[in-house]
Structure 1
Amino acid sequence: MATSSFTADNAAMLLVDHQVGTMGWVSSIPFDEVKANALALAKTAKAVGMPLVLTSSMEEHAQGPLLAELADIAPEEFAGRIRRQGVVDAFDDEHFADAVKRTGRTNLIIAGITNDVCTVFPTLTALHQGNQVQVVADAGGSPSKIADDIAVRRMDKAGATITSTNQLLAELAQNWTTENGSKIISIVNELLSQE
């Protein structure tokens, strides 16, 4: 369980497989909602200077390319994304593992598509390696509600903190009147206006 607050200064954001094809497999949460939440996480990481690691799996197959909006939000991270070839647990890809290690952060925020495959396994590995992990459950989803519920329960039982996009953004802001808080509240307002 997380024992300390996650902040822009001590956490890294890991977005796993927010790809056009994989997102089409999700039915546990509406497409537009999961997309808006994932993009809000990327925007927040960039706004507050938090390390952001993007990864994709088999873009040339059914999974498809990463969301094009991520290239606009985080062009450098998008260009440097870790392109995995069939590796289910992103941490089993040495390039991804190295990219996360290079952030120097052990508080990891993870969101992925799908929660029941692409999120659960790297979360379990990150926890096993001694990291504190928050899983942003509504910035991901699964092919069915039961699959999503089981994945979330498994991650929670293993010691991850399960959170929502809005809850995480408030935690990172800490105080809406600070510089980071004012940057994040505009992202929250944009997100809430889409609901």
Structure 2
Amino acid sequence: MHKNVFTPENAAMLLIDHQTGTLSWTKSHDLEAVKKSALDLAKIATAVDMPLVLTSSMEGHVQGPLLPELEEIAPKAFANRVKRAGIVNAMHDENFAQAVRATGRKMLIVAGITTEVCVVFPVLQLLDEGYEVQVVTDASSSFTKIGDDAALRRMEQAGAVIVSTAQIVSELAVDWTTPRGQAVGAVLGMA
């Protein structure tokens, strides 16, 4: 195994602010595709028993609740989601920072809405704290394509690896013929 390979045993998944309101504000990507990718990431994390940390910001306001499908896919993670009261950098919320530390993982897969606000700042901080981070670009979106591109470039220059959902899924499956590979394939409708 290559030392930089993310596995269900060494990585955790962080999904930030995939909320009904925040998603509707974004224009950089196709909204249904972003939603599908985010839900696929939650399904995969659940299927391979990878730690999954969910967070939301100001659910009672225009940001709205987390996508209701997340509760069906990952009921425990949904129930334990960190509800932030408007803190932009989720890592500045002690409950979220503690939930990330509690995974015991130093390799993190991150996606969120919006890339240029709610993803970039915690990712920069996580990199500063010594985490290895992969940012899933097609499970994230921003107000504009220009803003999304700028956020991705900033995170990549700081050391994050920019990936797609398909890359993460394949990396976690490792081998489609194994029980894990088959479980991941089933989530994606490949089995």
Using the TM superposition, give the Cα deviation of residue 189 of structure 1 relative to its aligned residue in structure 2, in angstroms. Answer: 3.5
CA distance in 1, matches of 2:187, 2:151: 28
Q: Secondary structure at the match of 2:109?
A: strand
User: CA separation in 2, counterparts of 1:152 and 1:170?
Assistant: 21
> 2: CA distance between counterparts of 1:146 and 1:135?
17
TM-score normalised by length of structure 1: 0.95
Deviations 1:32-74 (A, max 9, x none): 0000000000000000000000000000111000000000011
Q: Partners in 1 of 2:3 and 2:87 — Cα distance? A: 31
Q: Deviations over 1:123-153 (max 9, x none)?
A: 0011000000000011010011100000110
RMSD: 1.2
User: 1:166 touches 1:188 (CA, 8 Å); kept in 2?
Assistant: no
Structure 2: gaps (5+ residues): none
What CA deviation, in whole Å up to 9, does each residue of 1:68-107 have, x standing for no partner? Answer: 0000011111111000001000000000000011100000
Identical aligned pairs, as a percentage? 56
- Tell me which residue corresponds to 2:113: 113
**Amino acid in structure 1 at the alignment position of 2:159:** G
- In structure 2, the partner of 1:151 is 151
Name 1:193's counterpart in structure 2. none
Uncovered stretches (5+) of structure 1, i.e. residues with no partner: 191-195
C-alpha displacement at 1:3, in angstroms? 5.3
Amino acid at match of 2:153: R
Provide the rounded CA distance (Å) in 1 between the counterparts of 2:161 and 2:149.
14
Q: Output the amino acid matched with 1:28.
A: S
Deviation per CA, 1:5-38: give whole Å up to 9, x if none: 0001100000000000000011111110000000
Map of 1:63 onto structure 2: 63
Counterpart CA distance in 1 for 2:79 and 2:147 is 32
Per the normalisation by structure 2, the TM-score is: 0.97
- The one-letter code of the counterpart of 1:7 is T
The aligned counterpart of 1:102 is 102
Runs of 4+ aligned residues of structure 1 deviating over 4 Å after TM superposition are none
Moved more, 2-11 or 177-186: 2-11
| Distance (whole Å) between structure 1 residues aligned to residue 37 and residue 110 of structure 2 | 12
Deviation at 1:180, TM superposition (A): 1.1
Q: How does 1:73-152 map to 2 (within 5 A)?
A: 73-152=73-152
For residues 179 and 38 of structure 2, what CA distance do their matches in structure 1 show?
22
- Whether the 8 Å CA contact 1:43–1:187 is kept in 2: the answer is yes
